[in-house]
Amino acid sequence: MDMTEFQQNCYNIVTDPNLSPKQKSNLLALAAENNLPYVDLDSETKQALDERVICDMYEGHAPYKPRYVLPDYAKFLKQGSDYLELEPAKSFDDALNMLTIAYHHVPSVTGMPVYLGCLDQVLLPYVGNLTQADLYPRLKRFWIMLDRNLPDAFMHANIGPTDNVISRTILRVDRELKQVAPNLTFIYDESITPESLLNTAIENICQTAKPHIANNMMIKNDFDEKGYGVVSCYNSLPVAGGGSTLSRINLKEVALRSKNIVDFLQNTLPFYCQLQLNLIKARSAFLYEKSNFFQNSFLVKEGLIDANRFAPMFGVYAMAEAVNILQEKSHLTGRYGVDEDANELAATISKQLADFVDSHEIKHAWQGKAMLHAQSGISTDRGATPGLRIPYGHEPDPVTHIMALFKHHKYYASGISDILTIDETIKTNPLALVQICKAAFKFGFREFTANISGNDLVRVTGYMVRLSDIKKYKQEGSRINTTFLGSEAAEDTENNSYLCRTPRVISHEQVMGNR
């Protein structure tokens, strides 16, 4: 029987031998959404989107839910929920049970929650007389439940910056289980966090590549008193709000369409920034004005999120390729991440992007603006380095790496991340990694992330995969939704695969020189 293209796509999904019924259901829903007409765009914006100079991250043709949702879970536990027919939590067990229920009702681009809350702060009021020995089995069962029921590596929990029994127990559990999900960020604040807790977090990184370490002293300045959460890969967004949509500019493609550096800065980059802004406005307008999400969601009605606290994310990627192309077109020899003139050009580009975002108001946006984001790439990207990272396999030593990139971090309020791949010898001297982390924050890094060579659990662009799962994925699939993304990302053996990252040894001289 002849089938339409849409029917063939659906048929391919339902007959895929490596997908579970739940995974097939999610993909069928996305296929149905993408069979709808696209939101209204002008011809120039549509052409740029079709050519993928700008990219909508394949969120769907008709956005009916925000990309990232960050509920106020503390308020949820305190007040209960009429919609979910739940009384306020009275005990620690109540709190864990209520969170387990709530997570199934929090939408996102993945169909699963990308934010689990700053769990130590959310759960501490319900500890009561429970000891660490009492909390450990409860949190371990909770952690296992998250990975098994919500098997998505973009699901993200936060802990910190205070030292407390919940954060230390979660670090212990995460280190023992070595699960892909949930992703984890430790919020570090040098004025609050004791050195011993930072040391424990770094020791975890040596075993599991988790957690990210977030520089609270820097990040908090971009948000209000309600605070922020780190979600998905490493995205900082307002609590009780989130990210409404994410679009990104391929800076490499913009550079290819430019005559030289001057033409790029004065003409082509502003042109495509405006087209990306058009795309963001069109998608935001549909979400806010036609989808009825903010009019009907119980999360809004019960005060767990506020429509005015969602920001569209203005993403960019392939900075490395853009700078190198522009250097060549301008007859300059410097290379991104290595030479000062190339690095200064990159800093100029970041500042211009930040100035553009700051100077353009958006109707449906927290504080009336988009938030600039160094987007970490998607699994099908080829020949384009994620965000502002140095191309994999060409990374310098860790200190030079940090010095090449720190100037950018102040501009990217909704997230920028690099991944330092460190030789496994660091396991015998984790304090050296502590010193590198603190040096990065001193210079102005927004977030510190590291992979350790030799581990099964690794970061791809920001989310987690197990190499052992990747190895067997094409033969038997995976219960974890994001394994296939890691499998796709591993296939680019040229310069976009996390398998091409070069492990670096942290020398004694580097540590002593940055104290």
pLDDT greater than 50 at residue 138: yes
Residue 210: partners with Cβ closer than 8 Å, 6 or more residues away = 174, 183, 184, 204, 457, 464
* Helix-helix angle 132-149:165-177, to 10 degrees: 50
The average pLDDT across 184-199 equals: 98
- Indicate the average pLDDT of the chain: 93
Range 436-463 average pLDDT: 91
| 495 has a pLDDT exceeding 50 | no
Phi first, then psi: give them for residue 99, nearest 5 degrees.
Answer: -65, -40
Instruction: Give me the percent of the chain exceeding a pLDDT of 90.
Output: 82
**Across residues 88-102, what is the average pLDDT?**
98
Model pLDDT for residues 362-416, shown as the tens digit of each residue:
999 999 999 999 998 887 888 999 999 999 888 899 999 999 999 999 999 999 9
| pLDDT above 50 (res 452) | yes
Question: Of 281, 411, 279, which is closest to residue 353 (Cα–Cα)?
Answer: 411
Please tell me the predicted confidence (pLDDT) of residue 501. 66
Report the alpha-carbon distance of residue 512 to residue 515 in Å, rounded.
6
40 class by beta-carbon count within 10 Å (0-12 exposed, 13-18 middle, 19+ buried) = exposed
Q: What is the mean pLDDT of residues 131-150?
A: 97
Q: Do 217 and 445 touch, CB atoms closer than 8 A?
A: no
Contact 205, 170 (CB under 8 A): no
Number of neighbours of residue 6 by Cβ within 10 angstroms: 12
pLDDT of residue 209: 93
Judge whether 365 and 343 are in contact, CB under 8 Å.
no
| Nearest CA among 422, 445, 441 for reference residue 432 | 422
What is the pLDDT, as a whole number, of residue 465?
A: 86
Query: Six-digit token pair at 305?
Result: 């999120």
Q: Counting beta carbons within 10 angstroms of the beta carbon of residue 136, is it exposed (0 to 12), middle (13 to 18) or buried (19 or more)? A: middle
User: Which pLDDT score is estimated for 491?
Assistant: 64
The model's pLDDT over 101-111, given as tens digits with 9 standing for 90+, comes to 999 999 999 99
Is it the case that residue 55 has pLDDT exceeding 80? yes
Note the pLDDT tens digit of each residue in 241-269. 999 999 999 999 999 999 999 999 999 99
> Between 513 and 21, where is the model more confident?
21
> What integer pLDDT is reported at residue 487 of this predicted model?
75
Do the Cβ atoms of 71 and 79 come closer than 8 Å? no
The H or E element containing residue 252 is: helix 251-256
Q: With a cut of 70, say whether residue 347 has pLDDT above it.
A: yes
pLDDT in tens, 294-345: 999 999 999 999 999 999 999 999 999 999 999 999 999 999 999 999 999 9
